[in-house]
A = this chain, B = another copy of it.
Amino acid sequence: MSRQTSGGWVRVIGTGPGPERWMTPETSAILATATDLVGYAPYVARCPERAGQIRHASDNRVELDRANHALDLAGEGRRVAVVSGGDPGVFAMASAVMEALATGPVERRALDVTVHPGVSAMQAAAARLGAPLGGDFCAINLSDNLKPWAVVEKRLIAAAEAEFVIALYNPASKARPKQIFDAFAILRRVKRPETVVALARAVGRPDERVTLSTLAEADLTLVDMATCVVVGNSDTRLIDRGPEREPWVWSPRYVEG
């Protein structure tokens, strides 16, 4: 059997950070034609219900198993959407699917696999806040499940010293409550205490909670798995909008010479 004529496919997609208004039409169209959805349960739950569509919802931290499962299903002729939240290319399933293709049976590389962009959590957070990513920025995954903490530490210091705005993903979980405290301890050694910090939790969803603070004073007990933490650079500032509305967060486009 030629796998290419089986009609099966894998589409690696992201729902965006939550509401359907941030899901691209391309992603919606894929969800409408997939026979199978594969993904972490909370992301699969965000997809509209469709009669006859099979949902393979799995636990967290089994990304490679999930990717292999999706490729196997496609090899059997199924049309499989691999569902991430946000953008599948940003700390999500695209890399796991590539890992499955790179490390699995070579013949699977003939499968019809494509990746499709989406809106990532830092972008929803940025829009909600104003323009915190207005200059050069970086995104760092604080989980040390897949890399040594020394790598995270090195990247935090480099990003702070070179004045990138920093978006921190997966800053804390029940199994890893400590990393965000360690990361802030590192950043506080390099950056000024008054550096603008935003804790942007579940932006766009009913349980959204945005907290503006500073590097010195941020209450890190508020940080959980649904939080994107944005740490400004030296030029990031607040724009006051009076007592009734929270200030905008603005990182200028320019850097003074």
| Contact status B154-A95, CB under 8 Å | no
Q: How far is the CB of A103 from chain B (nearest CB, A)?
A: 10
A113 nearest in chain B by CB position: B248
Classify the interface of chain A: helix, strand, loop or mixed. mixed
| Contact status B139-A137, CB under 8 Å | yes
The 8 Å CB contact of A151, one of B63, B133, B159, B255, is B255
**Chain B positions within 8 Å of A120 at CB level:** 123
Q: Does A243 contact B (CB under 8 A)?
A: no
Q: Does A135 contact B (CB under 8 A)?
A: yes
| Contact status A253-B148, CB under 8 Å | no
| Contact status B94-A127, CB under 8 Å | yes
**Chain B positions within 8 Å of A98 at CB level:** 130-131, 134, 239, 248, 250
A positions within 8 Å CB-CB of B:
12, 16-17, 20-26, 29, 63, 87-91, 94-99, 101-102, 109-110, 114-120, 123-124, 126-128, 130-141, 146-148, 151, 154-155, 157-159, 161-164, 237, 239-242, 248, 250-255, 257
